[in-house]
Chain A
């Protein structure tokens, strides 16, 4: 480091929440005009440290220095005024409002008490042109695909002249091409003097796009390195504290002839989304994993909806859906579940869990009608408790407390809880949508192993993921979905990431 002050320095930051120590003496330095990767498992404390930097929390001890000057904030507004901006992993956008309104929210330019939208629009057009971030300004944000929502979040920061940008898992929803474009933009920003902190778990991105890397584990910084002088395996080991299997061993599939899922000529128009499915047909045999690759917003959610809630009166659909040989086209969601279809939903907070309810109740959700837990309409809470305890032990859900509200678990543990629940019945059909999104490396290994084990035990698995590595590693067959149509099919081992990425963007 040269004689100039680091753009950001954290000295001995500590933070506890009740009995939990989130950060214990975190120290790190970020040089100005660099991209610094911040990596660590969920629960390692990296998000907490960044939130202290951003003013969401007050540190219990330690100092934050910007350009050598100690700072303290009482709220993110202070941090924003100091030039720090953060794009969160879970977006903070007001659904019914337009993109334009979301960006100017909190920084409205007023003239005589009226908001001057034209001025903002011009500024934003310029920014979006400069960084290639195209957005439809006038549509309600909740109607836009997740990738576009993220662009809006980034534009929020740029609009407020942030000098230090913190991005929390930004590429969860992007194709390789879009990721490349994002980092092209970030590189441009860096070259113009911005400092960027990248919280991510994607080691490949860290290797390609960052200048330095800081590794968190268990509330402390366990390692720091110049990116050019380290490698993914070393970083993963530092993150987890032990040797991690980055690529799960997958034997060749031995599919059974029985069809787990058979979809024929499915057309679907959702009630609220503008996305459709157009003549989608595919099948999944028992004992194989079929991966559906595609950027979010190309019909994956609609596919799930059409398959699992065929009787929703708000939607128009045609075609047929069959599970395990039974035509389920007119079935209720409950009947489909009873058949033995398990679902790992793409949005675990909204579709997978009751966040304010304890772990035990969440474990019973969806299983509550099974004879194991239900006797003539009365819940067998003792059975639920014993089964749940065993399950969370087997799946290493931490902390292993049945009474803890599910919302307090980390993302990876929440996902493991959902998987523990869904796999409890040894399902013959598994639909896994974005199963490792926002999940830390250790848990990803576990989840992937479990999915492969289910396949080897005879389940037919439909894997929908925007994570190319995951699709490539786990799938025996890969289908690419683009704008509601299946546009390509590949077999394991027959393709590479670039071709896949191209198909995903429609070429």
Chain B
């Protein structure tokens, strides 16, 4: 079946299961579904908020995906985006009179730089020390949280309020917000996200570095034998992943709040993993998946008010069910096998250990008979 069909089916399956859950809870599932749709798309404001939630998800989804193409798991997008946002806010707060031509660029670069750094550290540790990036990125999330709290509360505190947030950045830093979303903060960060997706696609599919990155992700030993430095690729991959996550700082600080608020992120970094999975690690799939998750998030906010038995947490349930459906690899490959007439594709249930030294590839795959 074509590649994009599986995620679509998974979404439908997840939605159906989730709505079935609401039915068990005592609500009319069709009613819930309508609330979700209206909440996500019902008015320019609603759609704008959907896009607003989707934009950071594009960045974190790309971040996770690019690391994944190199065979690495970036669980640290949350920390990377936190520091990215903090960096942008810090530059804006410390240098408020920066001319408006440079201001967003300067803050943007700071955000990317901070994110890159937070990705390069686990990248270097993995490359040079073999220390697994899953553990390091998760731990660095905590470090980033602590660091950003400290800097916000003690160094850059906004003295005008009790909220844990930094001083406002200069007005020249704010980027343009589109007017036709009824007040929803949809800024230039949205086209930036789309451009980023295109750039990531181009990088992976068309450039030499992208080729090497994917080769390392596919087979490190084959890449090494071909002269590719797996160490360098890993560092670059996680650095790029960090940079992409850092761009969330642009969306949040420059395009919305104008300051860094502790805890602003509703787990964008982790939902980015789900977005990447649903989008099959393809930049264009990630755009679609981010939009879907943004819609779910926004659509569910109305559930608290409009239903008796269902709260906004339904969005989490739906996300989880969709993810489970996407990840049901066994189900999909079973279905794919049934496509191939009558019986089995490559080797069925052979008595082999789950991780053989060299997996038994079908060596005698016969060639199709062509009339000469």
Show the binding face of A for B, using Cβ within 8 Å. Answer: 16-22, 42-48, 51, 56-58, 60, 75-77, 80, 88-97, 102, 105-106, 141-142, 149, 218-219, 308-309, 313, 332-334, 336-338, 343, 345, 347, 349-357, 361, 364-366, 368-369, 374, 377-379, 381, 398-399, 407-411, 413, 438
Contact = CB atoms under 8 A, between A and B. Distances in A.
The 9 closest A-B pairs by CB, nearest first: A94-B353, A47-B364, A366-B226, A92-B352, A334-B227, A337-B227, A351-B225, A354-B218, A75-B349
Interface string B341-362: 1111101111111111111111
Contacts of A368: 208, 211-212, 226
A53 to B, nearest CB: 13
B353 A97 contact: yes
Contact of A381 (B206, B215, B343, B350): B206
Nearest to A146: B357
A355 B215 CA distance: 10
Interface in B206-245: 206-209, 211-212, 214-215, 218-219, 221-229
B208 A58 contact: no
Contact of B229 (A333, A398, A409): A333
B53 to A, nearest CB: 34
A408 B363 contact: no
Contact of A410 (B228, B363, B368): B363
B356 A93 contact: yes
A336 to B, nearest CB: 7
A53 B233 CA distance: 45
B227 A336 contact: yes
Contact of B341 (A16, A42, A90, A369): A16
B366 A219 contact: yes
Contact of B347 (A51, A347, A410): A51
A188 to B, nearest CB: 25
Given A17-B365, A366-B225, A399-B368, 15 more contacts: A42-B364, A43-B364, A48-B364, A51-B347, A58-B343, A75-B348, A91-B357, A92-B356, A95-B355, A149-B357, A333-B225, A337-B227, A354-B218, A356-B218, A411-B363
Contacts of A56: 347-350
A334 B228 contact: yes
A351 B368 CA distance: 27
A371 B209 CA distance: 14
Contacts of B340: 17-18
B360 A76 contact: no
Contacts of B348: 56-57, 75
B207 A22 contact: no
A20 B357 CA distance: 28
B161 interface: no
Given A56-B347, A366-B226, A379-B208, A355 B361 contact: yes
Contact of B349 (A76, A97, A149): A76
B3 interface: no
B206, B219, B351, B370, most chain A CB atoms within 10 A? B351
B364 A45 contact: yes
Contact of A351 (B208, B222, B359): B222
B162 interface: no
Contact of A47 (B219, B341, B363): B363
Contacts of B361: 90, 349, 355, 407
Interface residues of B, number: 50
A310 to B, nearest CB: 13
A377 B363 contact: no
Interface centre among B208, B224, B354 (most CB of A within 10 A): B208
Contacts of B228: 333-334
Contact of B364 (A22, A106, A349, A398): A22
A21 B368 CA distance: 7
Contacts of B354: 94
A377 B209 contact: yes
Contact of B219 (A309, A338, A354): A354
Which of A313, A366, A381 is the most central at the interface, judged by chain B CB atoms within 10 Å of its CB? A366
Contacts of B224: 309, 333, 351
16 contacts: A22-B366, A60-B342, A90-B360, A91-B357, A94-B355, A334-B227, A338-B227, A351-B222, A355-B361, A366-B227, A368-B212, A377-B208, A379-B206, A379-B211, A410-B367, A411-B363
Contacts of A313: 128
A379 B128 CA distance: 28
Contacts of B355: 94-96
A215 to B, nearest CB: 15
Contacts of A408: 362, 365
B222 A365 contact: yes
A57 B344 contact: yes
A91 B227 contact: no
A17 B358 CA distance: 23
A43 B225 contact: no
A332 B229 contact: yes
A409 B211 contact: no
A493 to B, nearest CB: 34
Contacts of A105: 353
A377 B202 CA distance: 11
Contacts of B353: 92-94, 97, 102, 105
A368 B214 CA distance: 13
A374 B208 contact: yes
B226 to A, nearest CB: 4
A333 B367 CA distance: 35
Given A43-B366, A46-B364, A365 B215 contact: yes
A409 B370 CA distance: 16
A91 B19 CA distance: 48
Interface string B172-208: 0000000000000000000000000000000000111
A58 B344 contact: yes
A217 to B, nearest CB: 11
Nearest to A168: B363
Nearest to A335: B227
A42 B358 contact: no
Contact of B367 (A18, A77, A398): A398
A60 B365 contact: no
B228 to A, nearest CB: 7
A106 B354 CA distance: 12
Interface string B3-22: 00000000000000000000
Nearest to A344: B225
B212 to A, nearest CB: 7
A333 B356 CA distance: 28
Contacts of B367: 20, 43, 398-399, 410, 413
Nearest to A77: B351
